[in-house]
C-alpha cells in the first residue's frame, strides 16, 4: 500500500509548527500505524533528518502513551483501538492521511506529535485514589462487593489515560477521564469515606488546568479506545451535586 | 569477592520475622532527614516510592515516561498469586513456596522465596483496600483462577488487565504522596549513570529527554526498579523503550549481575508475521486454561484447521504430559512448540506457530462465557491478525517475555554496592531459572510494599552519610563521559539505523541464546556480538542533536548497552553446562528431552563481576542450599 502523509512538525514547545508531506510506499496492510511511521522515520534517519517524534511504548494498547489525531479522529477511524493497535488495512490505498497531535490548551505540544499530558497527573494527584497506607489494609475478603458493582468499577478503571476523550471533545473537556476514576471509586465501598472530598478536589483541579466543560456530544465515548461510557460522567455529576448539597 | 547473601538464622518460617526484629529502625522523626532515589515506576518502583514516602522518607522518583502510570507492568494480563486458600483446595504459604522453588528449577534462594510467599497475601489485602477492581463471585467475594502450571486456584485477576489495575492502585498511592510533597517526581528522565561517593551509592545522573540536559540527583540510597533486559532480543513482549541501561550502568560501577542467561520465553504470543514488525504481543497465559494446543499430525498440512479431523490432530502437550496437559510451565510449553515447528509441524504462513483452539470450550460453555473471560484478548488478536478466534483457532508462538536474571541482591535486596537496592524484575532473586505465571506482579509488589520499607531502614540507620551536593566532582566527571558518548554517537553518521543493527543483534540472540542453546552456537554468538558492536560504532546513523527531544538518540544510547549485555548473557549460558528452567543446553537433556540439571556442579547463582572496558568478567558463585524443598527432577507428566 502507498500513502501520502501530512504530518504536523514542530521543533519544540516554543516553535511554530507546520505540516510536512511524506510519501510512503510498500506498506503492508498488517502493519500497525506506528510501524508505518517507523518506516517513515527509518527513511528520515538514513538521510540524517530529524525523525518524527511520537509517544509510544507498549504497542499493545494498554500503556496509554500513544495517541495521534488521524484524519480528524482520535486514534484514527477504528472504534475501540489505540493508535498502536490500528492496522493500515483500515486505510484506503493511495490515499492521503493527516496526522496531528492532540489539540487542547491543557496539552501543549512538546515536539511534533508529542504532547504534555501532565495535567491529567495533577487531576489524579488531587484525589483520584483511596488513602490507605501500606500495611493498614484489612483482610481482602472482609468487604464483599456486589459483582455488578465490581464489574462496573472495572469498566471505568479500564481507562488508560491516553487523552483521546479530551482530543475528541470540541470543548477539550476531561470529564470522561476524570469521571472514570470518580465513578470507579464511588462504586466501591472502599472509596466511600473520601467520596465527597475526592470529587470536589478533582473537579477544582480540572477547571484550573484549562479543560473545558462537557459538550454533551458523547464524542469522548465514541473515540475512547477502551469504550468507557458517558454514564460515568452522569455518575460523577451526581457525586458532585451530592458533595455540594448534602 | 565473597558474596554474603545475609540470609537470617532460624527455621525458614521465622527468618523474616526474626530479621525484622533484629534489623535497625530509623526513628519516625528522623526519616524525613533521609532521601531515597527510586528509578522506575512500575509495580516495584511505584509501590516502593509510595511506601517509603508514607513512612516519612523524602523520595525522588524518575522514569522515562511522562507519567508513572505507563510503566510496562501495566501490560501484565493474567493475574497475581496469593495463597489465600479461598477455594478450599489445599493451598498454603508452604505450597506456594514449594511450587515457586520447584518451578524455578532449584536455582532460586529458598529464604527469599519463602518470604515472597509469606507476604503475598498482604499484597491482595493492600490492593483491595486501594480499590483495585478484582474479579468477584456473585456473593461479592474475590474470585480466583488456576493459572500457569498451578494445581490450585490462587490467582487473583482483574479481567485480562491485572497488571494495569495493580499498577493504577500503586500509582494512586504514589500520586497521593506527590500531593503530600514527599515524592518529587521527574518524568521523561532516563538514568544514565550511578554515582558512588566513598563507596556508597549516593546519586544518579539522568538525561532530561525533552531538553537533552543532564541532571544530577543526590540521595542517601538509590533503588533501581527498572525492569528486565529482554529487549536485548529486539523482538520481545517488552515495551519498546523498556531497557537495561540503569542496571547495566550500575553493573559497570560494581554491582554484580546474577544469572544473566536465565530468560523466559513465553509460549502464548502472536507469531511474527514479517520483517517490519516492531514487537511481539503476548496473550495471557490464562488462555491455556481453556484453550487446547495442537498441531496437525501430518507435517506440512496446510488445510484449514477446521477441515482437519480430530484424529489427525496432535494435542501434543496433553499427550506428553497427561496430568498437567496444556498447563505445563512456560519453559516446557515454549520448548515443545519450538520443537514441533522445528520438526515441520508448525502452522501458518511462516510455519512458526501452533494452534490454540477454543472450539471445545465454546461448545461446552458457550461463546458468552468465553467472551466474558477472554473477550479483550480475542479482540486484540483480531485487530492484529484480522482473524476471528471464536471461529478459527488462534496461532501462537513463543517470544521473549521476562528475564529471571538481574542484579545480584542479598536478602535485603541490596546489591554488592552499599546503598544500591534493586527490586522487581531488575533483580535476580526469586524466580530461579524459570518464573511461574502470576508471580512477577507478586514479586514486584512484595519487594516494593513489604520488603524494601524495612530493609532500607537498617542500612540508613547503620551508616553515616557525609554531606554531598550535586556540584560534587563525581557528578561532573560522569556528565562529561556521558556527553562524550552522546557526541560520539551523533558524529558517526554511518548508514544503518539503530533499529537495523539492534534487530541483527536480536536475531543472533534468538538463534544462539534463545529457547535451546548449545556450545557451538554460543561460541559463534561470542564471535558475532563483538563484530556487531564494532559495526554499530562504525556505521550507525543518529540524526538530530543532543540538546533536543531526540528519540533516535535515546534508542542509540540504550542499544549500546544491549550490545554489551548480550555478551554477558551468552558468556553465562556457555559456562552453565547443564539445563535448568528456561536455560536449555541441548547437550544436557534427559532421554525424553527434558532439562537435565547438574546439581553437584551448578547449584549456585552465577554472579558476574565487571572487570573493565574490554568486557571482561570474573565469575563469583553464591552456593544454593535446599533444606526444605529437596531438588528433584521436575516432572509434569
For testing the chain A interface, which of B67, B79, B162 should be mutated: the one with the most A CBs within 10 Å?
B67
Domain end, chosen from A82, A111, A140, is at A111
CA pseudo-torsion sign B29, B32, B36, B40: positive
A24 lies in the same domain as A140: no
Active site residue B330: yes
Residue B269: what pLDDT? Answer: 94
Where are the domain boundaries for CATH 3.50.50.60 in chain B? 15-262+404-462
Tell me the average pLDDT of chain A.
97
- List the 55-84 stretch of B: residues with Cβ below 8 A of A: 65-67, 69-72, 74-75, 84
* Domain span holding position A76: 3-111
A96 lies in the same domain as A28: yes
Q: What is the arithmetic mean of pLDDT over B582-606?
A: 92
A100 lies in the same domain as A142: no
pLDDT at B149 over 70: no
Q: Where are the alpha helices (DSSP H) in B257-329?
A: 287-290, 316-320
Q: pLDDT by residue (tens digit) across A28-79?
A: 999 999 999 999 999 999 999 999 999 999 999 999 999 999 999 999 999 9
Residue B269 forms beta bridges with which residues?
B282, B397
Residue in A closest to B69 by C-alpha: A63
Round to whole Å and give the CA distance between A183 and B264: 38
A105 lies in the same domain as A150: no
Q: pLDDT by residue (tens digit) across A80-128?
A: 999 999 999 999 999 999 999 999 999 999 999 999 999 999 999 999 9
A145 lies in the same domain as A231: yes
Round to whole Å and give the CA distance between A8 and A100: 5
Q: Which domain CATH number covers A47?
A: 3.10.20.30
Question: CA B177, B180, B185: angle at the middle one, nearest 5?
Answer: 55
Shortest CA gap B618–chain A (Å): 35
- Using pLDDT thresholds of 50, 70 and 90, give the confidence band for residue A25: very high
Domain end, chosen from A111, A131, A147, is at A111
Q: Which domain CATH number covers A149?
A: 1.10.1060.10
- Which residue matches cell numbers 531502614? B457
Question: CA B136, A229, A92: angle at the middle one, nearest 5?
Answer: 120
Where are the domain boundaries for CATH 3.90.700.10 in chain B? 266-400
Q: pLDDT by residue (tens digit) across B552-566?
A: 999 999 999 999 999
Residue in A closest to B136 by C-alpha: A147
A35 lies in the same domain as A69: yes
- Contact state of A190 with B130 under an 8 Å Cβ cutoff: yes
Question: CA B275, B279, B283: angle at the middle one, nearest 5?
Answer: 120
B491 touching chain A per CB within 8 A: no
Q: What percentage of chain B's residues is helix, strand, coil (to nearest 5)?
A: 40, 15, 40
pLDDT at B148 over 70: no
The domain total for chain A is 2
Q: Could you tell me the three cell numbers for B117?
A: 510467599
A122 lies in the same domain as A241: yes
- List the 35-54 stretch of A: residues with Cβ below 8 A of B: 35, 38-39, 41-42, 44-51, 53
Indicate the burial class of A12 (C-beta count within 10 angstroms; 0-12, 13-18, 19 or more): middle
Just give the CATH number of B266-400.
3.90.700.10
Identified catalytic residue from B182, B330, B517, B634: B330
Helix (H) or strand (E) holding A35: helix A33-46
Where are the domain boundaries for CATH 1.20.58.100 in chain B? 488-622
pLDDT at B275 over 90: no
pLDDT at B77 over 90: no
Residue in B closest to A138 by C-alpha: B125
A106 lies in the same domain as A137: no
**From B133, B210, B276, residue closest to A153, measured CB to CB:** B133
Residue B75: what pLDDT? Answer: 94
Q: pLDDT by residue (tens digit) across B346-369?
A: 999 889 999 999 999 999 999 999
Domain B488-622 has CATH 1.20.58.100: yes
Domain end, chosen from A67, A86, A111, is at A111
Q: What is the pTM of this model?
A: 0.96
Least confident of B116-125, B330-339, B427-436: B330-339
Residue B329: what pLDDT? Answer: 82
Distances from the Cα of A74 to the Cαs of A66, B240, B487, B557, B573, in angstroms? 11, 22, 37, 32, 46
CA pseudo-torsion sign A219, A220, A225, A230: negative
Q: What is the CATH class of B15-262+404-462?
A: alpha beta
A37 lies in the same domain as A105: yes
**From A110, A121, A143, residue closest to B67, measured CB to CB:** A121
A69 lies in the same domain as A123: no
Amino acid at each position: 500500500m502507498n500513502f501520502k502523509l501530512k504530518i504536523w512538525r514542530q521543533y519544540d514547545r516554543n516553535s511554530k509548527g507546520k505540516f510536512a508531506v511524506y510519501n510512503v510506499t510498500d506498506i503492508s496492510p498488517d502493519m500497525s500505524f506506528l510501524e508505518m511511521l517507523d518506516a517513515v522515520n527509518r527513511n528520515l534517519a538514513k538521510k540524517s533528518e530529524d525523525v518524527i517524534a511520537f509517544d509510544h511504548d507498549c504497542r499493545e494498547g494498554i500503556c496509554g502513551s500513544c495517541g495521534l489525531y488521524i484524519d480528524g479522529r482520535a486514534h484514527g477511524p477504528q472504534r475501540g483501538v489505540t493508535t498502536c493497535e490500528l492496522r493500515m488495512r483500515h486505510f484506503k490505498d493511495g490515499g492521503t492521511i493527516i496526522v496531528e497531535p492532540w489539540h487542547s490548551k491543557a496539552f501543549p505540544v512538546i515536539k511534533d506529535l508529542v504532547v504534555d499530558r501532565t495535567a491529567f497527573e495533577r487531576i489524579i494527584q488531587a484525589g483520584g485514589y483511596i488513602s490507605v497506607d501500606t500495611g493498614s489494609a484489612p483482610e481482602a475478603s472482609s468487604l464483599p462487593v456486589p459483582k455488578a458493582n465490581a464489574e462496573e468499577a472495572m469498566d471505568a478503571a479500564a481507562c488508560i489515560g491516553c487523552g483521546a476523550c479530551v482530543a475528541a471533545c470540541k470543548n477539550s473537556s476531561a470529564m470522561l477521564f476524570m469521571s472514570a476514576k470518580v465513578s470507579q471509586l464511588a462504586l466501591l465501598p472502599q472509596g466511600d469515606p473520601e467520596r465527597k472530598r475526592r470529587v470536589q478536589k478533582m473537579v477544582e483541579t480540572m477547571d484550573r488546568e484549562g479543560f473545558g466543560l462537557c459538550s454533551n456530544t458523547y464524542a469522548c465515548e465514541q473515540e475512547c479506545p477502551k469504550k468507557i461510557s458517558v454514564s460515568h460522567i452522569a455518575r460523577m455529576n451526581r457525586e458532585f451535586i451530592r458533595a455540594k448539597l448534602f | 569477592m565473597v558474596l554474603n547473601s545475609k540470609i537470617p538464622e532460624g527455621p525458614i518460617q521465622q527468618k523474616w520475622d526474626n530479621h525484622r526484629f533484629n534489623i535497625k529502625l530509623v526513628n519516625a522523626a528522623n526519616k524525613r532527614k533521609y532521601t531515597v532515589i527510586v528509578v522506575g515506576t512500575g509495580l516495584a518502583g511505584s509501590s516502593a516510592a509510595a511506601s517509603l514516602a508514607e513512612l516519612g522518607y523524602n523520595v525522588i522518583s524518575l522514569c522515562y515516561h511522562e507519567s508513572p502510570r505507563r510503566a510496562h507492568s501495566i501490560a501484565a494480563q493474567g493475574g497475581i498469586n496469593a495463597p489465600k486458600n479461598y477455594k478450599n483446595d489445599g493451598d498454603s504459604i508452604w505450597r506456594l513456596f514449594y511450587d515457586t522453588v520447584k518451578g524455578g528449577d532449584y536455582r532460586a534462594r529458598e529464604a527469599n522465596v519463602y518470604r515472597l510467599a509469606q507476604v503475598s497475601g498482604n499484597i491482595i489485602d493492600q490492593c483491595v483496600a486501594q480499590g483495585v477492581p478484582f474479579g468477584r463471585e456473585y456473593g461479592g467475594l474475590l474470585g480466583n483462577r488456576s493459572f500457569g502450571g498451578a494445581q490450585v486456584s490462587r490467582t487473583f485477576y482483574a479481567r485480562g488487565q491485572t497488571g494495569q489495575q495493580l499498577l493504577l492502585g500503586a500509582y494512586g498511592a504514589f500520586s497521593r504522596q506527590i500531593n503530600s510533597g514527599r515524592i518529587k517526581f521527574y518524568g521523561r528522565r532516563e538514568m544514565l549513570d550511578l554515582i558512588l561517593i566513598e563507596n556508597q551509592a549516593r546519586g544518579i545522573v539522568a538525561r532530561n529527554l525533552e531538553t537533552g540536559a543532564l541532571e544530577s540527583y543526590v540521595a542517601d540510597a538509590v533503588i533501581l526498579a527498572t525492569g528486565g533486559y529482554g529487549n536485548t532480543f529486539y523482538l520481545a513482549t517488552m515495551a519498546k523503550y523498556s531497557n537495561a541501561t540503569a542496571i547495566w550502568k550500575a553493573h559497570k560501577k560494581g554491582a554484580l549481575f546474577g544469572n544473566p542467561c536465565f530468560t523466559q520465553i513465553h509460549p502464548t504470543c502472536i507469531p511474527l508475521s514479517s520483517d517490519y514488525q516492531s514487537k511481539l504481543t503476548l496473550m495471557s497465559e490464562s488462555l491455556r486454561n481453556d484453550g487446547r494446543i495442537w498441531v496437525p499430525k501430518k507435517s506440512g498440512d496446510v488445510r484449514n484447521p477446521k477441515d482437519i479431523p480430530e484424529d489427525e490432530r496432535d494435542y501434543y502437550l496433553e499427550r506428553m504430559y497427561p496430568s498437567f496437559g496444556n498447563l505445563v510451565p512456560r519453559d516446557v510449553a515454549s520448548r515443545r512448540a519450538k520443537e514441533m515447528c522445528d520438526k515441520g509441524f508448525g502452522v501458518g504462513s511462516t510455519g512458526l506457530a501452533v494452534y490454540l483452539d477454543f472450539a471445545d470450550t465454546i461448545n461446552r460453555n458457550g461463546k458468552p462465557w468465553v467472551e466474558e473471560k477472554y473477550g479483550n484478548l480475542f479482540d486484540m488478536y483480531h485487530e492484529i491478525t484480522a482473524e476471528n478466534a471464536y471461529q478459527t483457532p488462534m496461532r501462537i508462538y513463543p517470544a521473549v517475555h521476562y528475564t529471571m536474571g538481574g542484579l545480584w541482591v542479598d536478602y535485603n535486596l541490596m546489591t554488592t554496592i552499599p546503598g544500591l537496592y534493586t527490586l522487581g524484575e531488575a533483580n535476580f532473586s526469586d524466580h530461579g531459572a524459570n518464573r511461574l505465571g502470576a508471580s512477577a506482579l507478586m514479586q514486584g509488589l512484595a519487594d516494593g510494599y513489604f520488603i524494601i520499607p524495612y530493609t532500607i531502614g537498617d542500612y540508613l540507620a547503620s551508616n553515616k552519610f557525609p554531606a554531598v551536593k550535586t556540584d560534587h566532582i563525581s557528578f561532573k566527571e560522569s556528565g562529561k563521559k556521558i556527553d562524550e558518548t552522546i557526541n560520539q554517537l551523533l558524529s558517526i553518521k554511518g548508514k544503518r539505523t539503530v533499529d537495523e543493527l539492534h534487530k541483527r543483534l536480536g536475531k543472533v540472540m534468538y538463534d544462539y541464546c534463545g529457547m535451546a542453546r548449545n556450545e557451538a552456537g554460543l561460541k559463534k554468538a561470542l564471535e558475532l556480538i563483538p563484530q556487531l558492536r564494532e559495526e554499530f560504532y562504525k556505521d550507525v546513523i543518529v540524526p538530530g542533536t543532543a540538546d533536543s527531544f531526540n528519540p533516535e538518540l535515546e534508542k542509540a544510547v540504550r542499544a549500546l548497552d544491549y550490545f554489551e549485555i548480550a555478551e554477558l548473557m551468552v558468556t553465562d549460558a556457555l559456562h552453565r553446562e547443564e539445563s535448568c528452567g528456561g536455560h536449555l543446553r541441548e547437550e544436557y537433556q534427559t532421554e525424553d528431552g527434558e532439562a537435565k540439571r547438574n546439581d553437584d556442579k551448578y547449584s549456585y547463582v552465577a554472579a558476574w563481576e565487571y572487570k573493565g572496558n574490554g568486557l571482561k568478567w570474573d565469575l563469583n558463585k553464591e552456593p544454593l542450599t535446599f533444606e526444605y524443598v529437596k531438588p528433584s527432577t521436575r516432572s509434569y507428566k
